[in-house]
Each structure stands twice: as C-alpha cells, then as structure tokens.
Amino acid sequence: MRDFTQTKALFQMPADMIYLDGNSLGPLPRAAAARIHDCVTREWGEMVITGWNRAGWMAQPTTYADRIGRLIGAEPGHTVLGDTLSVKVYQALAAALDLVPDRRVILTDSGNFPSDIYMAEGLIKSLDRGYDLRVVAPEDVADHIDSDLAVLMLTQVDYRTGRMHDMAALTQKAHDAGAITIWDLAHSAGALPVDVAGCGADFAVGCTYKYLNGGPGAPAFIYVAPAISTAASLPYRAGLAMPPLSRSRRATGPAPGSNGCASARRRCCNSPHSMPRSTSGTRSTCTISARPPSH
Ligand SMILES: Cc1ncc(COP(=O)(O)O)c(C=O)c1O
C-alpha cells in the first residue's frame, strides 16, 4: 500500500508518537489482536492437537514464507519460516562453507550486525578447519573479493547509517570469483524492494519482527536459491525436517518429496511458531524506510 495515511491507519500507535524504530520492532497491526485471539481461543482452545492440520499451523512455515518470498523476489517454495535470525545465519554459513570445501576465507564488513559476526566466529571455532573471517570496511568489500573467497556474508542495509550494498553487483563479483553469497535482509525485507532471484543470491535470511510486523518473538526466514537447493545441507534439522512417520526416531535421509516445499521444510529446526506467526500473516508494509529520513 503506497498511501501513507491509509497504511498508517492499519497500525495501532501510541498517540502523538512519531515511530522510527521499525528497525528494532515494527508497530502492532490493528488486525493482529483479533487474529491472535482467534488463534488462542478457537484454534488452540477448540481444535487442540488437530489444529496442527485443521488450522493450517503445520503448513505455515512455507505458506507464510512464500508471502515473504514474494516481497524479496524469491521463487515459490524456496523460503521457509522458523527459528531465530541468528540460527538462520549460522545454518546458512555452515551450508555455504560446505559448498566450497577447498576454500577458507569468509568476508564480511564492519557495518554488519554484531550477532552475524558472532555466529560466524562461533561456527569457525566449532568447525576448527582453519577458516579466516575477514572484516573490512563496507566500502572496501568489492576490493577483497578474490579467488580465495569461500563465502561473502553481508547485511544488505546498515540500519545505523542507511548504507545499502549493491546486492546484484557484489553477488555477481563473488560468483565470478567462485564464492557463495549470504545476504541478511533484516533491514530490507518489507522496507524496500528486494530481488534475491534477480540478483542471483545463494542464501538470504531475515527476521519478521521489524518491517514485517510479526511482533516480538516472531520467527526468522531463510531463502536458498533453487540452483543450490539440493546440494545445500543445513545443520540442525529437527521437527519438520523429519519425514512425518519418522519424527520420533532419527532419520538420516532427506524428507520425502522433491518439490520446493518439502525441501524448504527440511530447513526448520522447530515446530511451527503458530501464534507469533499469526501476526505475520497480517499485512506487511513498507511504512518505514531503512534509510534515515532526509528532513
Ligand atoms: C541485521 C541483523 N542480523 C541479525 C540480527 C539478530 O537477530 P536475532 O537476535 O533475532 O537472532 C539482527 C537483530 O536485530 C539484525 O538486525
């Protein structure tokens, strides 16, 4: 919705407040309270266990994710909701490193969100394979992409400065060098047009509690490009990752089914976050720009 007054009317805001903190927590959509009430009283209260299927909770990691997928230019069936953004960063990086097993350099920038860098440091430590995490100034990223690079891991928009990386150009340069790309869209998904497929991004991750207005505790999302979808193996698969009849015992093979949704489900570590995600099902907006206001 492009009419700001109409868009603003969809949200409950404290009186006399100009809210510019959507980069941390998006405001409450007016429709959310009724939706949560319905989820609690009718779906959970009356359906109990049958709600997993009758209320559609089980399908939500992919159905709602495909709505986010449309906002970020993803192909249907290649985005999934679940876990936290930090977990998704960890999973994407682990899977990306496995796709380029002969390389050891991970490149990011000093404007990246600290927890993304902490996740990379933690993964490097636990893998103990001699990975080298290079943190350079944002404007120097392109100059550090070379044939040693395994993974380029960046946050597209720096919420502190509004600086936005050129996703298409950096992805192309990384691919020309034989590297894999991971884009953190926490400050771009829902705030500005994003085109992961058009840019050729390999992995993209983001959260739904900022510009997607999912509320505190709302789940994260991950996109895995179709070209690497089969090869990319994300660690910590559980719950939805298992074939339905094998959830109670260890399953080593892929979940059955070769369509996008079945493989996307293998990227969840959790059962559906049905209640917080119920608010994500309300309208997503672009009310607040990731860039600082110009006046
Ligand atoms: C760019 C970016 N990446 C990662 C995170 C970490 O998200 P979470 O704490 O939900 O895992 C945040 C949180 O604000 C963020 O803004």
Residue among 85, 110, 163 whose CB has most ligand 1 atoms within 8 A, to mutate: 85
pTM across the whole model:
0.88
**Within-domain flag for 123:** yes
Nearest one of 127, 100, 104, 99 to 231, comparing CA atoms: 99
Query: Could you tell me if the CB of 186 is within 6 A of ligand 1?
Result: yes
**Within-domain flag for 152:** yes
Residue among 84, 91, 113 whose CB has most ligand 1 atoms within 8 A, to mutate: 113
Whole-number pLDDT of residue 80? 94
CATH of the domain at 185: 3.40.640.10
**Within-domain flag for 262:** yes
pLDDT over 70 at 286, yes or no: no
Q: What is the pLDDT of residues 74-118, one digit of tens each?
A: 999 999 999 999 999 999 999 999 999 999 999 999 999 999 999
Whole-angstrom CA distances from 221 to 27, 150, 228 are: 19, 23, 17
**Within-domain flag for 95:** yes
**Within-domain flag for 203:** yes
**Within-domain flag for 137:** yes
With a pLDDT cut of 70, the percent of the chain lying above it is: 80
CA 64 to chain centre: 12
pLDDT over 80 at 292, yes or no: no
Q: Range of 203's domain?
A: 64-243+258-280
Mean local confidence (pLDDT), 266-286: 55
What is the tally of structural domains in the chain? 1
Query: Could you tell me if the CB of 185 is within 6 A of ligand 1?
Result: no
**Within-domain flag for 251:** no
Q: Residue 20 in contact with residue 293, Cβ under 8 Å?
A: yes
**Within-domain flag for 53:** no
Query: Could you tell me if the CB of 155 is within 6 A of ligand 1?
Result: yes
